[in-house]
Amino acid sequence: MIAAASPEKSRDFDNGLTLASRAATAVILSGAVLMAVIFQIDDPDADFWPAIVAPLVMAVALAVQARWPGTPSTVFFLLVGGVAVYAHSRTFASQVPVWPVPNVITVALPKMALILIGGSGRSPGAALRWCAAGFGTAVVASSLAIFHAGHRFTFDVPGVLTFVLTTGALLLVWRAHRHDSTSVQRLNRAARVELESALQHRVAVRNAALVHDTVLNHLAVLATSATGTLHDSLRSAIRTDLDELVQQTAPAPPGAQPGMPHTSPLHAAILDATIRGVDVTTTGRLSDVLLLDAARSAAVGLAVRQCLQNVEDHSGVLAVEVVVLPSDGELMVMISDGGAGFDADSIPADRLGLRNSVTARIGAVGGTAAIWSSPGIGTSVVLRVPFTPAADNAGAAT
């Protein structure tokens, strides 16, 4: 499975950063309201209500920005926030004149909320620009409020620290996200290479099986035939197999299905064996092969053809049973004979009939092949092929 650094993933990351920024802003505004309420309760004669209302107005503007994100709503939040910072700072500067007002945390809270709007930027550049705009708006509004309250402006330590920490955190987060995206891209390239290698292996297995089923079999027959003109039946078989080879190597249309049961590769394999004199008994419905797609139907047909050829060449009998049975999302095909049999564990490595033309071929389309045989008892081959594409053949990527 290929995990791609898709635009959806990037949007999820941006949305997460934006939500975190808004949550922090909401917490800070709540703290500003709470601090103003505490001061009002501590000094009932003072007028701290503007400092209570200002953060609430900023919270409403923040909700508007969250509901309709974009440049207009962010600018709206900055304008409303600038007025709120002015009112909040002016209130504390006039009601608590003995404090070094710019450095008081109660005055700094709305300014910090205004700076944190940078987290809603959709890119590092946009985030830094909004953060700088919030910092500038907060400093100007707070300085004017303190000046109008009759105090001398001093260096705004909380505001500067908030701006530096926010921009630093944004840069670190975006850099880590970029590094993760690069790592995912490298993993994607490696996964694509692995997938291409697997596909090439499947093609090689399929081609090797086709060559064994056609060319090698006919060469073996020709090598043991008498010299002179080819027998008509052998000539016809070679021509038929060549046509089959051309059809199998031609790409099938996506989602192509076999047309009718009598045109399926499975039916053709049984018919060809019958013409050669093999007594094939079928159990079940051959039409169930239509439940498979074109690639799986072809693989089953060619594997059965090879099994029938093996019965004819090696079993010593000319009678075989083919059972077709759909069950649990897969098609099962069993080929059984009562011939000489063999020791399945002692198949030489150079014998490609069962290994490539049956087991590997069925495995290449997501199925399995099981072989049971013993000398003197006979041979049974069970093919299981899923109706739907296997995960490794679908090439999915989420």
| pLDDT for the residue numbered 383 | 92
Q: For residue 224, count other CB atoms closer than 10 A to its CB.
A: 7
Is the per-residue pLDDT at 100 higher than 70? no
> How many other CB atoms are found less than 10 A from the CB of residue 275?
12
47 and 180 in a single domain? The answer is yes
Q: Quote the percentage of the chain above a pLDDT of 70.
A: 63
**34 shares a domain with 166:** yes
Same domain? For 278 and 364 the reply is yes
CATH number of the domain that 337 lies in?
3.30.565.10
pLDDT score of 385 more than 90: yes
Percent of the chain, pLDDT > 90? Answer: 8
In a domain, 363, yes or no: yes
Structural domain span for residue 298: 255-398
Q: Is residue 248 part of a domain?
A: no
Does 238 map to a domain? no
User: What is the rounded average pLDDT of the residues 38-44?
Assistant: 85
Q: Indicate the average pLDDT of the chain.
A: 75
DSSP H helical ranges for 212-231:
217-224
Q: Which amino acid is at 57?
A: V
Domain boundary among 130, 157, 187: 187
- pLDDT for residue 181: 57
Q: Does the model's pTM come out above 0.85?
A: no
Q: How far is CA 355 from CA 286, 348, 349, in A?
A: 25, 10, 9
**Residue 254: is its pLDDT beyond 50?**
no
Q: What is the pLDDT of residue 398?
A: 37
Give yes or no: residues 174 and 265 share one domain. no
Q: How confident is the model at residue 18, as a pLDDT?
A: 74
241 belongs to a structural domain: no
Domains: count for the chain: 2
Residue 251's pLDDT band, with cuts at 50, 70 and 90, is: very low
pLDDT at residue 300, as a whole number: 92
Q: Output the pLDDT for position 188.
A: 61
Residue 394 pLDDT exceeds 70? no
Examine residue 246 and state whether it is found in any structural domain, yes or no. no
Spatial distance between the Cα atoms of 250 and 244, rounded to a whole number of angstroms: 10
Whether the pLDDT of residue 327 is over 70: the answer is: yes
Which residue would you say has higher pLDDT here, 211 or 294?
Answer: 294
pLDDT in the model for residue 304: 92
183 lies in the same domain as 311: no
Q: Residue 141's closest CA among 80, 62, 207, 67?
A: 80
Q: How many residues does the chain have?
A: 398
Least confident of 150-159, 184-193, 278-287: 184-193
Predicted local distance difference test score (pLDDT) of residue 5:
44
The verdict on 174 and 279 lying in the same domain is no
Q: Which one has a higher pLDDT value, 98 or 162?
A: 162
For the segment 369-383, the average pLDDT, to the nearest whole number, is 86
Are 23 and 143 members of one domain?
yes
| Ramachandran sector of residue 117 (left: φ over 0; alpha: ψ -120 to 50; beta: rest) | alpha
Residue 245, domain member (yes or no)? no
pLDDT at site 101: 52
What pLDDT sits at residue 204? 64
Beta carbons within 8 Å of 395's beta carbon, 6+ residues apart? 2, 195
Which pLDDT does position 232 carry in this prediction? 67
Q: What is the pLDDT of residue 392?
A: 42
Could you say which of 187, 210, 227 is where a domain stops?
187
Q: Count of CB atoms within 10 A of residue 183's CB?
A: 11
Q: Are residues 269 and 391 in the same domain?
A: yes
274-278, 320-324, 351-355: range with lowest mean pLDDT? 351-355
pLDDT at 255: 46
Residues 169 and 74 in one domain: yes
Domain-terminating residue out of 187, 210, 231:
187
Based on the fold, state whether residues 167 and 260 are members of the same structural domain: no
- pLDDT at position 220 is 62
Distance CA 63, CA 89 (A): 22
Largest CA distance in the chain: 124
- Tell whether 277 is covered by a domain: yes
Q: What is the pLDDT of residues 301-321, one digit of tens each?
A: 999 998 998 888 888 889 999
Separation between Cα atoms, residue 241 and residue 209, nearest integer Å: 13
Domain assignment of residue 138, yes or no: yes
Q: How many whole angstroms separate alpha carbon 78 and alpha carbon 144?
A: 16
Q: Which range has highest mean pLDDT (145-154, 232-241, 362-371)?
A: 362-371
Digit-coded pLDDT (tens) for 65-94: 888 888 888 889 889 988 999 998 888 888
DSSP state of 356: I
29 shares a domain with 141: yes
User: Which band of pLDDT confidence, cut at 50, 70 and 90, is reported for residue 172?
Assistant: confident
Position 386 scores a pLDDT of: 92
Residue 150 binned pLDDT confidence (cut-offs 50, 70, 90): confident
Task: Give yes or no: residues 55 and 160 share one domain.
Answer: yes
Type of residue at 44: P
Beta strand 330-337 pairing with 378-386:
antiparallel
